[in-house]
Chain A
Amino acid sequence: KNEVEQSPQNLTAQEGEFITINCSYSVGISALHWLQQHPGGGIVSLFMLSSGKKKHGRLIATINIQEKHSSLHITASHPRDSAVYICAVRDYGGSQGNLIFGKGTKLSVKP
Chain B
Amino acid sequence: NAGVMQNPRHLVRRRGQEARLRCSPMKGHSHVYWYRQLPEEGLKFMVYLQKENIIDESGMPKERFSAEFPKEGPSILRIQQVVRGDSAAYFCASSPQGPSTGELFFGEGSRLTVL
Contacting residues, chain A, for B42 (C-beta < 8 A): 86, 101-104
Contacting residues, chain A, for B47 (C-beta < 8 A): 97
Within the complex, what minimum Cβ distance (angstroms) separates A4 from chain B?
A: 9
Interface size class of B (residues with CB under 8 A): 20 to 34
Interface residues of A (CB under 8 A from B): 30-31, 33, 35, 41-45, 48, 86, 88, 90, 95-104
The CA of A90 and the CA of B44, in the complex, are separated in Å by 12
Contact segment of B17-25, B54-62, B72-80: B54-62
The CA of A58 and the CA of B14, in the complex, are separated in Å by 45
Instruction: Establish whether residues A45 and B56, one from each chain, have CB atoms under 8 Å apart when the complex forms.
Output: no
User: Contacts A45-B105, A48-B103 given: A97-B91 contact, CB under 8 Å?
Assistant: no
Instruction: Establish whether residues B45 and A43, one from each chain, have CB atoms under 8 Å apart when the complex forms.
Output: no
